[in-house]
Structure 1
Amino acid sequence: MKIIFPHSLVKKEKLSNDDIKEVIKNTSKGIYTLIKGENLPRNSKLIKIYSTTIQRAKRIVMLMETVSGDSFFLFYRSKNDKIGKNISIQNQIFRKNLHKYLLILKEDIRSKNYSVFETV
């Protein structure tokens, strides 16, 4: 499985190298919740992953390609921020940002502005 990090979204979400490692570790476990999305690419689904430690609780949102199982990073949020608190299409803030982030993802993929990590 590959985990793809669009550079523009890594910058927007302010991911450190440690955050990227955390996203890879948690995504690789394959434990997630399916969430509804809008305007998703064909053969894809939106997944939410919980990343909880003693120090903090984060939520990861990935776009998973259903044929290959590859995942594309979208969000890495505290469970207490306006998006992380309610990651659902009913949350207007999440919905608006999801649409925006999907466009950014598409552009980064088109311009080859991303990093790929292979997992076992």
Structure 2
Amino acid sequence: MYKLVTDNEEMQKLINGYFILIRNNLEMAMEKFANRECFGIESMSILFKEDLDEYEDQKELQEIKKNQVVLLAESPAVQEDEKIYLSFKELYSCLERVVYEKYLADENSRKLFLVVRRQLCN
């Protein structure tokens, strides 16, 4: 069972940890997000509602809203299993920060980023 994290500072730590973990696979993550599909590495994943299993993820299915994703973090990334919910726009904002900080010069990353924006923010 995942503990819901609501403290803004703790949420930001989880988000930053996720993007550090996927940094070498950011393009693959953006391709998945553009298709509203989950992406994770090791012990952290972002899932869309459609990715949740009706038996294993019953609690998350009840809590998640239509335009949200859930970030799930498990050991060893965190001491106890944790989750946070992000709106599509919040996920996009996180991606925007990462892309503009590190990948702005990469044309393919910029194009994928625009596709993600169309899919999540329209």
TM-score (norm 1): 0.32
Greater gyration radius: 2
More helix by share: 2
More strand by share: 1
TM-score (norm 2): 0.31
